[in-house]
Amino acid sequence: MIGFVLASSAIYWLKARYTYPRTGQITYRRASRKTQGLLVVAIVLGTAAVTVSSILAFFAAPGFRTWLITSMPPVMILGCGLGAGLLFFGWAIRTGLNRFYILSGFVSLLGLALVIWYNQSAVPIRVPDGLLADPFAQLPAELGDQMASAFHRAYTYVGVLFGVVGMALVVSGLIVCWGYLRNTQRSAEEKS
C-alpha cells in the first residue's frame, strides 16, 4: 500500500514536471453515468449470484464441498489474475489507453499460466469419502494441515502475480514516458 501511494505521488510529480508543461493537463474521457451505472449493476448482480449459488451449493451438495476444499487455492490464484485483468480492462475503457488493454490481457494470461504451473507441482488435497456429508462437521487436523500448506503455496503464487503486475506497470509506464518525451518538444519556458 505504501508503494502504491509513493508511486502515485512520483507519477504525479513526473507528469507535473515533464508532461503538463508540454501539453497542458490531460483529462481522460469518462464513460457516461448510464454506462457506469450498468457496469456497477452488472458487477453487483454477478457477484451476488456467484456468492448465493456457492453458499447454497455448499450446504446442499457434498460433492461441491469436496471440490471447494480441493480447488480453492488454484481458484484463488486464477481469481486474482482475472480480477486484476478486469481492473486494467476497466481502466482501459475509462481512459482509452492501449497500454491498459495490453496489461489486461497480459495479467489474465499470467494468472492462467500460474494456475497451470501451480497444478503441475501441487500435492493434491485428499478428502476421505463421506467426510463432508455434514457441512457443519469439524474437519480433521490432517486435512487442515493439507489445506494450510496448499494455501501457503497459493499465496506465494499470488505474490509472484502481483510482483510481476507491479513490474509490468513500471516498465510499460517508462516505455510510454520515453516515447512521449522523444516525440514531443519542450516549451520555451522549459528550455530556459
| pLDDT mean across residues, the chain | 81
Residue 136 dihedral angles phi and psi, to the nearest 5°: -100, 0
What secondary structure does DSSP assign to the chain, as a single string? -HHHHHHHHHHHHHIIIIIHHHH---------HHHHHHHHHHHHHHHHHHHHHHHHHHHH-HHHHHHHHHHHHHHHHHHHHHHHHHHHHHHHHHH--HHHHHHHHHHHHHHHHHHHHHHHHPPPPP--TTTTSSTTSPPPHHHHHHHHHHHHHHHHHHHHHHHHHHHHHHHHHHHHHHHHHHHSPPPHHHH-
Between 142 and 128, the more confident residue is 142
Reported confidence tier of residue 58, pLDDT bands at 50, 70, 90: confident
Q: What is the mean pLDDT of residues 38-66?
A: 82
Q: What is the mean pLDDT of residues 102-116?
A: 93
Q: Structure pTM? A: 0.70
Closest CA to 23 of 190, 192, 152, 136: 190
Q: What is the mean pLDDT of residues 126-153?
A: 80
